[in-house]
């Protein structure tokens, strides 16, 4: 069970809707929460939004993240020998 404090305006709107739709206030709140949770669950996470782009434009050199010091050193040596 859960208790929630509502503003006076929101409580009045729920009361009115309850009378118009012939539903209990609890049913209205449950339905609203179900809709909210469903909407939140449908939203993609940041990784999911960019997943199709990750690795799409690679250099073809899969070792760059582990060999970067060696690659930088080689480039510096190339420039110095010119």
Q: What CA–CA distances, in Å, run from 48 to 22, 35, 43?
A: 41, 22, 10
CA distance linking residue 11 with residue 23, whole number of Å? 14
Q: Tell me: the pLDDT tens digits for 33-74?
A: 999 999 999 888 888 888 888 877 777 777 777 788 888 898
DSSP letter string, 11-52: HHHHHHHHHHHT--HHHHHHHHHHHHHHHHHHSPPHHHHHTT
The structure's pTM equals 0.54
d(CA 79, CA 82): 5
State yes or no: pLDDT of 17 exceeds 90.
yes
């Amino acid at each position: 069970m859960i208790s929630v404090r509502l503003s006076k305006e929101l409580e009045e709107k729920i009361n009115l809707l309850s009378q118009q739709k012939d539903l209990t206030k609890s049913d209205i709140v449950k339905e609203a929460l179900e809709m909210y949770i469903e909407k939140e669950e449908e939203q993609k996470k940041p990784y999911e939004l960019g997943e199709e782009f990750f690795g799409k434009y690679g250099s073809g050199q899969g070792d760059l993240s582990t060999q970067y010091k060696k690659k930088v050193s080689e480039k510096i040596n190339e420039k110095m020998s010119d």
